[in-house]
Structure 1
Amino acid sequence: MNIPIFLTLLRVALIPVLMVVFYLPLGYWANFLSTAIFAVAALTDWFDGYLARRWQQTSQFGAFLDPVADKLIVAAALILLVEANPSPWLAVPTVVIIGREIAISALREWMAELGERTQVAVSYIGKIKTTLQMIALLMLLYHYPIWFLPIYEMGMILLYIAAGLTLWSMLIYLKAALPILLRDVNRRP
């Protein structure tokens, strides 16, 4: 156990806290506190990787747990938001984002079994996508305008941009994996 892994585990532990606070009948304060909890989780996402590299505390367990924690907190926030605001406008990017994460996780697992895990490593587009997702979710969780800025609407726009980047990064992963996938398919009887 080291600080980067602790921060990753903290992100997972914040999921039930986010859920409870999200449903508290506090109006504005539930939104504000949910946003604050998600912001802490998003910051731990940045700090755990930074500290692990800086302090040379990277580990296979940390490399496994970090993306799982990211996907769990993002999926939880998206599901909470869709439940609170059921509309196709929010459901579509939610399905795209969660569906892509499941598909790419399965692809990475399969590639790892083939010994080709590095072919589907995290891309720069994926990092931008994650950053936009986190900002969008912060805005959507907060919901209320700030100084006449339509925060919720801005969050929706960013969520759609993140969903577009999600599809783009999935295509990058699939393109990188395609030669190996075809080689493996052609090898089977």
Structure 2
Amino acid sequence: MDPVAPPPSWDTDRVWTVPNVLSLARLLGVPVMVWLILGPHADLLAVVVLAAAGFTDWLDGFLARRWHQTSRVGQMLDPIADRLYIMAVVVCLALRAVIPWWLVVVLVAREVLITLLVPLLRTRGFSSLPVHFLGKAATFNLLYAFPLVLLGAPEGMDWAPARVLGWAFALWGTALYWWAGGLYLLQTLRLLRTFPPTRRLTG
């Protein structure tokens, strides 16, 4: 008997929806942000790009739920865009010595953990896990932490309140990021126990 397939967690198979276009636009902003930080050191403009990314991150999810346009493509694009922004900005800030490299290692290690879960999920018919509220909260904290840290950098605007608030968001966001990662790990293990493998045996 074929194993029971998990129910789909999306509303549509359409690719060109408004939420997906917003996610794609957010992805295209990553190289712009990297150039602004590392090239002309246009920190204020980089912060504008990051703020726009954070807003569209909320907006595409809101519209997908409101208009019933949650899609498989969107479920892949949204977390990819979030992770690219976080990884790109922390590497850029580390290269400019605004943040320590240990923070980069901590955040990258969490991404490695999530990446290692994907092959396990595929054995049960899943390509990804639904985004957890805690994961979105962590992403929100980190997306707004590093612009503030950047504004508070001595070589930038050197705005002390932004530096203090930014580091508070960064440390809290990093803790939430790993907490969410632990929940994703537990969720994956639960799926492995609940659903049988979907790959058919041949031979």
Name the residue aligned to 2:164. Answer: 153
- Whole-angstrom distance in 1 between the partners of 2:65 and 2:86: 23
Picking from 91, 96, 103, the partner of 2:113 is: 103
Unmatched segments (≥5 aa) in structure 2: 1-15, 197-203
How much does 1:101 deviate? 2.0
Greater relative contact order (CA < 8 Å, ≥ 6 in sequence): 2
How much does 1:94 deviate? 2.1
Within a 5 Å distance, the mapping from 1:40-189 to structure 2 comes to 40-85=52-97, 90-115=100-125, 120-143=129-152, 144-146=157-159, 149=161, 151-179=162-190
Larger Rg: 2
- What amino acid does structure 1 have at the position aligned with 2:163? Y
**8 A Cα contact 2:124 2:192, kept in partner:** no
Using the aligned pairs only, state the percent identity. 30
Name the residue aligned to 2:13. Answer: none
Name the residue aligned to 1:31. Answer: 43
Greater share of residues in helix? 1
- Whole-angstrom distance in 2 between the partners of 1:132 and 1:139: 11
Instruction: Sort the Cα spacing of 1:56 and 1:21 in 2 relative to 1 into closer, same or farther, 3 A.
Output: same
**8 A Cα contact 2:75 2:130, kept in partner:** no
Alpha-carbon RMSD across the aligned residues, in angstroms, is 2.4
Name the residue aligned to 2:8. Answer: none
- Whole-angstrom distance in 2 between the partners of 1:145 and 1:20: 21
- Whole-angstrom distance in 2 between the partners of 1:110 and 1:83: 34
Q: TM-score, normalised by structure 1?
A: 0.81
Is 1:18 aligned to 2:36, yes or no? no
- What amino acid does structure 1 have at the position aligned with 2:73? F
Q: TM-score, normalised by structure 2?
A: 0.76
